Amino acid sequence: MWDQRYDREDYLFGKAPAAFLADRAEVIPPGSRVLCVADGEGRNSVFLAGLGHAVTAFDASGVAVEKARKLAQEAGVAVDFNVSGIEDWDWSRPFDAVVGIFIQFVGPDMRATLFEDMARAVSPGGLLVLHGYAPRQVENGTGGPPQRENMYTEDLLADAFAGWEILRSADYDAIIDEGPGHSGQSALIDFIARKPA
């Protein structure tokens, strides 16, 4: 399904990073090892590589990863791109920051596993950087899956990462313009947390 969605000339979510990431990227210390989970066509990984981070990215869609490689080439940056599902990724590889932007393709059961895996991939003292939709986004219809249960709340994320230092937790409405895939009035959640050292 994702290969078909990405099989188009333009970039489904645009070539610019998510507005959240552009605004908040400075929280990631210079020269970090960063993992971008379900990175799609590379807009976020390419942006982070441009800031000087050592970026690894993966996505299940080979079509998306091919477009991501082109975007990195255009930008003149290197990213270690991989075609992989969350089910196959080697989560024992450590990173200083693990970034998940609009990765709400999982329901509650798989999300619990995914969050545990992502937490494992963050080095002690490292960062988790998450951005997605709140449940009321389903009524907006401007992006994201139609399942309310796939969406995040601040409480859900605080529970999932209990014991972590929360650097940002926010639930807000904004108009975003992130390609034909994510555009218009949106109900958003940001969550940035530091793993105990």
Q: Which residues contribute to the site for ligand SAM (CB under 6 A)?
A: 2, 13, 18, 38-40, 43-44, 59-61, 64, 85-86, 101-103, 105
CB of 197 to ligand SAM, least distance (A): 28
Which residue's CB comes closest to ligand SAM? 40
Helix (H, G, I), strand (E, B) or coil at 97: strand
Smallest gap from Cβ 195 to ligand SAM, in A, equals 21
Nearer to ligand SAM, 81 or 197 (CB): 81
User: CB of 48: closest distance to ligand SAM in angstroms?
Assistant: 12
Residue closer to ligand SAM, measured from CB, 64 or 72: 64
For ligand SAM, the closer of residues 31 and 85 by Cβ is: 85
Vertex 95 angle, CA 55 and 71, to 5°: 15
Task: Say what angle helices 62-75 and 43-50 make with each other, to 10 degrees.
Answer: 30
What distance in Å separates the CA atoms of residue 13 and residue 5, rounded to the nearest whole number?
A: 11
Distance CA 12, CA 90 (A): 27
Comparison of 1 and 162: residue with beta carbon closer to ligand SAM: 1
- Minimum CB separation from ligand SAM for residue 173, in Å? 19
Alpha carbon of 83 to those of 26, 29, 32, 38: distances in Å? 27, 27, 22, 9
